[in-house]
A = this chain, B = another copy of it.
């Protein structure tokens, strides 16, 4: 079956190259494209391009696709190129001439953006839920009354506690939630009705699709729908990178404090992996991988932010490559959040070892303040204690 924009046969190598792995990635978009197409069909009914009956037929088939997709039975073939063509081909096969009407008053450009935005809103929502789950796991740790050394410059500094330590990640995740919320607010604009970026030579009703798809507002400017591609996805990735950064610090601490020399924390044995040569090893691979995945997701953000640079206005095919970094960033972040919620919930804290580590240098500052309370100026008190240390 030929592509919708196609007359002459495309060179086979060029086809393979340009399709890339869109036909695989787009599995995640099927549902969203169908939903957007249903909303679009309602709009077409409103402006009298479709009759009520026609709209119903289309809606039914689109719902069928959603169902098939959920069961893994709707295939996007390489020659379909992407989910959008696969869906249209299916509609034409099922509904003949009626299927050929669905693309009226839209371009693949606004269609793709609509599916992406619905996908993004859903996924950011899932990430937020997982962040809240991890916060809950951390809150259980916070309740334990365990003293620990506090470090600065990776040197013993002042007394700290499990509560303070775990609490720092909660506040960090709260900041990340704000970023996630902001990201989903900014991208929450209806792109339908803007065509290829330059509007449509026919009057459409954007309010209908906006309401149907629960978008916060319509894009004001049709060209910006395309110019915001990559930019909006990078805003989401920035929020994800912040989440990953919180996890990166959490696991950096856990790996350090699980070393034999500290032994403040321990993973359950069934969470650790062994060595092919050293029989004694219990390695925190799971934590090391989370640590490294920060850099992986950061790399995805950089791909997007570099990719959009020095490009003129309007849709450029480069933007198609914004899909994979975003999707991989989302999947990676979700995986890491899930696994860290499990890890935190099962983490063993060795209270005794923490206590033993509370050596006297940690209390030097307290001594300074004892002198301050007795009336010494801070600097004099500091010097006096320093001499004795």
Contact = CB atoms under 8 A, between A and B. Distances in A.
A25 interface: no
B382 A197 contact: no
Given A4-B379, A195-B277, A223-B168, A153 B14 contact: no
A78 interface: no
A112 to B, nearest CB: 10
Number of copies: 4
Interface string A229-262: 0010011001001100100110011011011111
What is the size category of the interface that chain A forms with chain B?
35 or more
Contacts of A255: 154
A93 to B, nearest CB: 13
Given A165-B223, A299-B306, A389 B156 contact: no
A276 B366 CA distance: 14
Interface stretch (A30-38, A69-77, A265-273): A265-273
Interface string A102-113: 111111110100
Given A7-B386, A179-B186, A223-B164, A155 B281 contact: yes
A165 B92 CA distance: 36
A155 B274 CA distance: 11
A199 B385 CA distance: 19
Contacts of A98: 377
Interface stretch (A55-63, A116-124, A126-134, A317-325): A317-325
Interface in A9-40: 9-11, 13-14, 17-18, 20
Interface string A271-289: 1011111111111111011
